[in-house]
Amino acid sequence: MTMRLFRPCIFSGWLYPEALFRIKSTEKMLCLTFDDGPDPASTPGLLDILDQYHVKAVFFCSGQAAEKYPSLVEKIKEKGHIAGNHGFSHIDGWKTNTEDYCENADHASRFLPGRLFRPPYGRITISQYGKLKKKFRIVFWDLMAYDFDAGFGAAGSLSVLKRKIRRGSVIVLHDKPQSSANSILPEFLNSAISRGYRFVLP
């Protein structure tokens, strides 16, 4: 049986004290983020849905994809969303030395010049974190819905979103054709908004 962790390890906040996992607020607010895009098969649909619900989000884009589809990055920004840095290539910080990891993030900055950075896989060493936090605001998440996991299924991802959101949750979904985000997003947004949540940018 596959083990899925919907929230980060409790120690993560101690290891990366200046990183964002959850927005501190007593209000019912959520932050919606999408990783791995942009992609012409998924990004336009996500933007249309977000427009329909008047929700703004952060798209943590791959530098490679941003270089390939600059018009989609511009579209994301034109719609009032943030295009964040998800590294140039999707490398694992636990398997990459600090110099190469930081260089990968810097390379992505040529195409994604903002200050927000999300580590691919959520894996970053203390040394990598120490260097990158001087340039970026590092953003993890409070809730992972596994929308990229075909074995979990769209219904499973939607159920997680409905059951596990809480005040300040930073939610990660994925902007790629393999994700169920496009299919589950309208129902999730309807549910969250009807329960009094509003969506904010970090």
The total domain count for the chain is: 1
Determine phi and psi for 55, rounding to 5 degrees: -110, 135
Cβ atoms of 58 and 82 within 8 Å: the answer is yes
Residue spans of alpha helices (H) in 54-197: 63-68, 70-78, 98-108, 126-132, 153-164, 181-194
Mean pLDDT of 140-167: 97
Determine phi and psi for 178, rounding to 5 degrees: -75, -10
Q: Is residue 7 part of a domain?
A: no
Q: Is residue 4 part of a domain?
A: no
- Is 142 part of the annotated catalytic residue set? no
pLDDT of 11: 79
pLDDT of 2: 66
Q: Is residue 64 part of a domain?
A: yes
Residue 9 — pLDDT band, cuts 50, 70, 90?
confident
- Is 35 part of the annotated catalytic residue set? yes
Q: Which structural domain range is residue 50 located in?
A: 26-199
Mean pLDDT of 20-49: 97
CA pair distance 99, 108, nearest whole angstrom: 14
Q: Which of 39, 142, 174, 175 is catalytic?
A: 174
Tens digits of residue pLDDT in 118-152: 999 999 999 999 999 999 999 999 999 999 999 99
- State yes or no: pLDDT of 10 exceeds 90: no
Its pTM stands at 0.96
CATH of the domain at 129: 3.20.20.370
Average pLDDT, the chain: 96
Q: Which of 35, 36, 147, 175 is catalytic?
A: 35
Tens digits of residue pLDDT in 65-90: 999 999 999 999 999 999 999 999 99
Residue 93 — pLDDT band, cuts 50, 70, 90?
very high
